[in-house]
């Protein structure tokens, strides 16, 4: 049996491409369709109810594209809407918060976990709940980092300006001696070297991307939803769609994917 | 680095040996100490507050034996006390409910999950919460099975009497068309062939034992808590302790472990 339907992945912009990249590495024969909501990026500063509305629109759009599974590759949208869309649709829907929380629970030795995320994600408290549901004895310190996404989207992923901002966000967390820090926004893996340098080698940095990809693989494989290739070179197609500025999306996205993004179709989902 | 401290595993009686067996299969070089609270078995019909008290006593006893990790290999004790002991002790403590819930979320296609468990576990609602925290759209049907444990402990693991009881518990669940059923008590793997026969090949049966062992391995390995053997035959020692009737424990336990249990020391933990 072979299921050729694509996997749908979405984010407010390009950040979710870090998750898509891990999925394509682990499931090279799967077709994927990525939706970046570039017309309304960023989500992190918006009301959660507004983000929930956007998420419903985009999940509906992807299901209209006949996807077999949806990945909400955006922490803010996961925090705002995962449970609501899971209740409303029949396809399996996977978020990025629980996989990251799970990795942190395994990684922390002193049972002190830090979370770097957008204001929306921190306000939702979703990471704290997810970590404590796995180990109620873990202390969780969440830090909103509103300046990271604008800097990263300008291409500033290193240098003194970013370092100063990062140090400000990380200092309170270091004082509390966290030993595992979740990058709770899909943009942040691009600045992980700076964060790593400040936190030092004893602190583990956790990106949800890899964990999420593993979960996608196990769900598809247990349901016999995997696509079987015709021959070893029959790799899956990657389709990219965004809601505005396709050229900018392709340029910035190529950096996230570490390969060139060729075709981007603009789409209106509302 | 090698950490020779044992892994502590406990259950109200012999049921948790199904979990111990999976742990020893996957981590053959680890020393283990198993505690069966045979003086106070079964837990499933007791008040959760009483079970919580017993769990604190036994975790304290195991920590006194210098364990590096505790597995609560009992669904009722996990439901009653996991969060409370995690908050109170420094060693990592793993329960059996979350791993079973996770396996069910991956296994169900129709997003209808059944849970067979003791009255205490069902009353706690812990499985429903654990499954819905992973996929809020899944329907969970929990069924208390008070007659299973007494039958199993009498050695009745097949035949018309057990079948009649099982059919009574399973019929409502089958009407609701569940396609994944969690064996939510560590005794139940011993009657899985009967349950399987009634439910049919389309329904997946989930035992937490294997999933829990995988979680133990990942926690120990990420913390560098694994024991390194001196040579390939340097397998870990299995120590068994129970609170009453050591001969009976050894006889019944050998069936669960599929190998002979040699030495059982009686211990008083209160």
Per-residue tokens: B184: 């939510």
Per-residue tokens: A227: 């696509």
Show the low-confidence residues of chain A (pLDDT under 50): none
Q: What pLDDT is recorded for position B128? A: 95
Per-residue tokens: B115: 């849970």
**CA angle at B216 for the pair A73 and B17, rounded to the nearest 5°:** 135
**Structure confidence at residue B90 as a pLDDT band (50, 70, 90):** very high
Q: What pLDDT is recorded for position B268? A: 65
Is it the case that residue B270 has pLDDT exceeding 60? no
> Can you list the alpha helix ranges (DSSP code H) found in A28-107?
48-64, 75-88, 97-107
Comparing B233 with A194, the larger pLDDT belongs to A194
Q: What pLDDT is recorded for position B267? A: 72
> Using the beta-carbon criterion (under 8 Å), do A137 and B86 form an inter-chain contact?
yes
pTM of the predicted model, to two decimals?
0.81
Beta pairing class for B93-94 and B69-72: parallel
Share of chain B above pLDDT 90, in %: 72
Sole residue written with tokens 């979370």: A115
Tell me the per-residue pLDDT of B170-221, one tens digit each, with 9 for 90 and over: 999 999 999 999 999 988 988 999 999 999 999 999 988 888 999 999 899 8
**Residue A127 CB neighbour total at 10 angstroms:** 27
Mutation target for A interface from B55, B212, B222: give the one with most A CBs within 10 A: B222
CA-nearest residue of chain B to A110?
A: B90
Tell me the per-residue pLDDT of B110-122, one tens digit each, with 9 for 90 and over: 999 999 999 999 9
**Residue A173 CB neighbour total at 10 angstroms:** 21
Three-state SS for B72-139 is ECCHHHHHHHHHHHHHHCCCCEECCHHHHHHHHHHHCCCCEEEEEECHHHHHHCHHHHHHHHHCCCCE
Is it the case that residue B263 has pLDDT exceeding 80? no
Share of chain B above pLDDT 70, in %: 99
* Averaged pLDDT for residues B70-96: 95
What is the residue-averaged pLDDT of chain B? 92
Q: Is the dihedral of CA A169, A170, A174, A176 positive or negative?
A: positive
Rounded-to-integer distance, Cα A140 and Cα B96, Å: 23
Rounded-to-integer distance, Cα B160 and Cα B194, Å: 10
Say which residues have a Cβ less than 8 Å from residue A232's Cβ, sequence separation at least 6. Answer: none
Q: Is the CATH number 3.40.50.920 carried by domain B7-96+210-266? A: no
> Which residue ranges make up each domain of chain B?
7-96+210-266, 97-208
* Averaged pLDDT for residues B232-244: 90
Q: Which of A51, A67, A74, A166 is catalytic?
A: A74
Comparing B259 with B197, the larger pLDDT belongs to B197
The phi, psi pair for B103, rounded to 5°, reads -65, -40
Say which residues have a Cβ less than 8 Å from residue A109's Cβ, sequence separation at least 6. Answer: A179, B223
How far A111 CA lies from chain B's nearest CA (Å)? 8
Q: Find the CB nearest A222 among B83, B88, B107.
A: B107
Beta pairing class for A180-184 and A204-207: parallel
* Averaged pLDDT for residues B24-50: 92
Q: What pLDDT is recorded for position A79? A: 93
Given a contact cutoff of 8 angstroms between Cβ atoms, the answer to whether B20 and B28 are in contact is no
How far A194 CA lies from chain B's nearest CA (Å)? 23
> Using the beta-carbon criterion (under 8 Å), do B136 and A83 form an inter-chain contact?
yes
Residue A238 bridge partners (DSSP): A32
Rounded-to-integer distance, Cα A55 and Cα A44, Å: 13
Is it the case that residue B108 has pLDDT exceeding 90? yes
Same fold for the domain at B7-96+210-266 and the one at B97-208?
A: yes
Say which residues have a Cβ less than 8 Å from residue B254's Cβ, sequence separation at least 6. Answer: B260, B261
Tell me the per-residue pLDDT of A94-140, one tens digit each, with 9 for 90 and over: 999 999 999 999 899 999 999 999 998 999 999 999 999 999 999 99
Mutation target for A interface from B137, B179, B205, B212: give the one with most A CBs within 10 A: B137
Q: Is the CATH number 3.40.50.1860 carried by domain B97-208? A: yes
Per-residue tokens: B146: 């008070």
Interface residues on A facing B, Cβ-Cβ cutoff 8 A: 82-84, 86-90, 92-93, 98, 106-107, 109, 111, 130, 133-138, 218-219, 222-223
Given a contact cutoff of 8 angstroms between Cβ atoms, the answer to whether B236 and B29 are in contact is yes
Is it the case that residue B269 has pLDDT exceeding 80? no
Classify A204 as helix, strand or coil: strand
Q: What pLDDT is recorded for position A269? A: 61
A216, HSE (Cβ side, Cα atoms, 13 Å): 34
């Amino acid at each position: 049996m072979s299921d050729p339907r694509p996997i749908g992945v979405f984010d407010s912009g390009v950040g979710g491409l870090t998750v898509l990249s891990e999925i394509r590495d682990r499931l090279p024969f799967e077709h994927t369709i990525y939706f970046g909501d570039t017309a309304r990026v960023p989500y992190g500063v918006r009301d959660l109810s507004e983000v929930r509305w956007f998420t419903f629109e985009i999940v509906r759009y992807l299901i209209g594209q006949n996807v077999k599974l949806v990945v909400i590759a955006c922490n803010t949208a996961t925090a705002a809407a995962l449970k609501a869309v899971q209740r409303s649709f029949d396809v399996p829907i996977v978020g990025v918060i629980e996989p990251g929380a799970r990795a942190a629970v395994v990684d922390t030795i002193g049972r002190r976990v830090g979370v770097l995320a957008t204001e929306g994600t921190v306000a939702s408290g979703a990471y704290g709940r997810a970590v404590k549901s796995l180990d109620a004895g873990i202390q969780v310190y969440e830090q909103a980092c509103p300046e990271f996404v604008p800097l990263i989207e300008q291409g500033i992923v290193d240098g003194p300006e970013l370092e100063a901002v990062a140090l400000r966000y990380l200092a309170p967390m270091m004082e509390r001696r966290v030993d595992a820090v979740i990058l709770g926004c899909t943009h942040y893996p691009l600045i992980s070297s700076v964060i790593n340098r400040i936190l030092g080698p004893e602190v583990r940095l956790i990106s949800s991307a890899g964990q999420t990809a593993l979960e996608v693989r196990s769900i598809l494989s247990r349901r016999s939803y995997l696509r079987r290739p015709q021959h070893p070179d029959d790799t899956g197609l990657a389709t990219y769609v965004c809601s505005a500025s396709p050229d900018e999306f392709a340029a910035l996205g190529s950096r996230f994917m570490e390969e060139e993004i060729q075709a981007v179709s603009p789409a209106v989902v509302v």
